[in-house]
């Protein structure tokens, strides 16, 4: 069996920027263990698999460790593959996922992701996370992810979490997003995932399901510019729709290739 594989850099307009994801179109679902093995072999934070179904697409996301409930950059990467490589001519792509229906439209050369709204609530930081941080946050919130609010962009850049300590905690699908007001953007962030192969995620669309409503409420702004301050850097143009979040970004293709599955059986 041969499968097409697309390696896409998402939330960037420059190669080697943003967050890389692999995208693999399927005619029907493979066994979970095969999709997980492919993801491990790809050795990126996420691989998205999708199946065309009537007028929609079913999508699933895997890290090298687990299947995820939501992934922003790999959804953007998948929309890029469908639009740019597979000749999709529609104005709207609908994905059916574990997080419900997700929509991607096209606006002024950017992909627009219509994602769930996850306002974080005040929380208490687990002691193990507190001990792992070289700079303590001034506020702590929780949605799917812990949202740690800091005083400045400089503090976000200076964070050096202790990876070994954080591996002692299991946050399920969640992670730790650290955020502050930005110097050149409305807000900035960094995202850490205890126990994952990629400890610091380069650009995390799903975390902005919480960051956008949080900063929109605090800044009294509907439209926000966000920078994720990883080494690869990511830029997201965000809109708070009150019950949904819009994330706009670009994507570029790094490579197109084939996966050859030998001696692998389907269910």
Question: Do 185 and 99 have their domain in common?
Answer: no
Question: Do 205 and 156 have their domain in common?
Answer: yes
Is residue 45 a part of any domain in this protein?
yes
DSSP 26-40: ESSPPPHHHHHHHHH
Give the model's confidence band at 250: pLDDT under 50 very low, under 70 low, under 90 confident, else very high. very high
Is residue 9 a part of any domain in this protein?
yes
Q: What are the tokens at 9?
A: 């850099």
Question: Do 236 and 126 have their domain in common?
Answer: yes
Beta bridge partners of 175: none
Catalytic residues: 46
Give the model's confidence band at 216: pLDDT under 50 very low, under 70 low, under 90 confident, else very high. very high
User: How many other β-carbons are positioned within 10 Å of the β-carbon of residue 1?
Assistant: 12
Is residue 267 a part of any domain in this protein?
no
Give the model's confidence band at 264: pLDDT under 50 very low, under 70 low, under 90 confident, else very high. low
List the domain range (segments joined by +) for residue 61. Answer: 2-115+250-260
94-135 pLDDT, tens per residue?
Answer: 999 999 999 999 998 899 999 999 999 999 999 999 999 999
Question: Do 216 and 136 have their domain in common?
Answer: yes
Question: Do 155 and 92 have their domain in common?
Answer: no
Give the model's confidence band at 256: pLDDT under 50 very low, under 70 low, under 90 confident, else very high. very high
43-102 pLDDT, tens per residue?
Answer: 999 999 999 988 899 999 999 999 999 999 999 999 999 999 999 999 999 999 999 999
CA distance 217 to 2: 48
Is residue 22 a part of any domain in this protein?
yes
Question: Do 92 and 154 have their domain in common?
Answer: no
Is residue 266 a part of any domain in this protein?
no
Question: Do 100 and 129 have their domain in common?
Answer: no
CA distance 106 to 238: 14
Task: Kindly tell me if the per-residue pLDDT of 265 is higher than 60.
Answer: no
Question: Do 167 and 188 have their domain in common?
Answer: yes
Q: What are phi and psi of 79, to 5 degrees?
A: -60, -40
Question: Do 254 and 232 have their domain in common?
Answer: no
Question: Do 92 and 43 have their domain in common?
Answer: yes
Q: Write the CATH number for 181.
A: 3.10.310.10
Is residue 265 a part of any domain in this protein?
no
Q: How many domains does the chain have?
A: 2
Q: Reduced to 3 states, what is the DSSP secondary structure of residue 61?
A: strand
Task: Kindly tell me if the per-residue pLDDT of 267 is higher than 50.
Answer: no
Is residue 51 a part of any domain in this protein?
yes
Question: Do 50 and 149 have their domain in common?
Answer: no
pTM of the entire structure? 0.91
Q: Reduced to 3 states, what is the DSSP secondary structure of residue 84?
A: helix
* pLDDT for the residue 214: 98
- pLDDT-above-70 percentage for the chain: 98
Question: Do 97 and 140 have their domain in common?
Answer: no
């Amino acid at each position: 069996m041969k499968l097409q594989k697309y390696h896409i850099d998402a939330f960037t307009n420059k190669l080697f920027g943003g967050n890389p994801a692999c995208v693999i179109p399927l005619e029907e679902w493979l066994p979970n263990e095969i999709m997980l093995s492919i993801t491990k072999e790809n050795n990126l934070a996420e691989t998205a698999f999708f199946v065309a179904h009537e007028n929609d697409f079913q999508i699933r996301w895997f890290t090298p460790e687990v299947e995820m409930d939501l992934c922003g950059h790999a959804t953007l990467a998948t929309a890029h593959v469908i639009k740019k490589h597979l000749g999709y001519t529609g104005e709207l792509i609908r994905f059916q996922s574990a997080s419900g229906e997700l929509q991607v439209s096209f606006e002024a050369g950017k992909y627009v992701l219509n994602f769930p709204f996850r306002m974080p609530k005040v929380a208490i930081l687990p002691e193990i996370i507190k001990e792992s941080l070289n700079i303590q946050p001034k506020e702590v919130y929780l949605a799917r992810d812990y949202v740690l609010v800091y005083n400045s962009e400089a503090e976000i850049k200076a964070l050096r979490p202790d990876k070994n300590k954080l591996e002692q905690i299991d946050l399920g699908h969640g992670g730790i997003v650290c955020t502050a007001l930005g110097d050149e953007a409305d807000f900035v962030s960094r995202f850490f995932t205890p126990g994952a192969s990629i400890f610091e995620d380069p650009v995390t669309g799903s975390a902005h399901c919480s960051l956008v409503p949080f900063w929109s409420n605090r800044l009294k702004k509907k439209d926000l510019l966000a920078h994720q301050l990883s080494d690869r850097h990511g830029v997201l143009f965000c809109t708070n729709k009150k019950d949904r979040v819009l994330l706009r970004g670009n994507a570029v293709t790094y490579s197109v290739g084939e996966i050859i599955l030998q001696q692998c059986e389907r269910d």
